[in-house]
Amino acid sequence: MSQIGKQIVDFNVQAYANNEFKEVSKADVLGKWSVFFFYPADFTFVCPTELEDLANLYEDFKATGTEVYSVSTDTHFVHKAWHDASETIKKINYPMLADPTGVLSRGFDVMIEEVGLAERGTFIVNPEGEIVSYEVVAGNVGRNAEELLRKLKALQFVAANPSEVCPAKWKEGNETLKPSIDLVGLI
């Protein structure tokens, strides 16, 4: 069942960010673009490579008015311990959401019930709290933050320019298409 257009679940969870614990809720997400980046668990193997990739582009995401939230079923205490123990994870400045009850993992439909961990799911959420893009990949394959940023910018562009569409591999500043009967069969 498609997640596109689905309103995100109401939530209030603990997070670790900028050397402190804080609460993050749906109310904090509404009104701006958000990326929810689910991963199986702290202290694992592929996960830190992905989280570092996001950390390296975090300022680029922020420049688009977007907040990035990484999410696993670990507690906020485990997020802090991992942050303190790993040189890779120390680079992270975005909020690391704790989801030990699975409210987010189940709400975004990425919970692996048999093991209590989240799939590698990536969700872009618009300011109205609706999912406008998502991808779920096998646990043994890492994701690419550059491609995520490209898709985010395309989604923001078409949200601001609803009469235009972004073709494959579109990048900011590239030409878009204006769907019309005149284009049918010419592309």
Specify the DSSP element, H or E, that contains 147: helix 145-160
Choosing from 8, 35, 47, 149, the catalytic residue is 47
Residue 169 sits at φ, ψ, to 5 deg, of 60, 15
CA distance linking residue 176 with residue 11, whole number of Å: 36
Asked if residues 14 and 46 have their Cβ atoms less than 8 Å apart, the reply is no
State which amino acid sits at residue 129. G
Residue 16 sits at φ, ψ, to 5 deg, of -115, 125
Residue with tokens 């005149």: 182
Catalytic residue flag (residue 166): no
Catalytic residues: 47
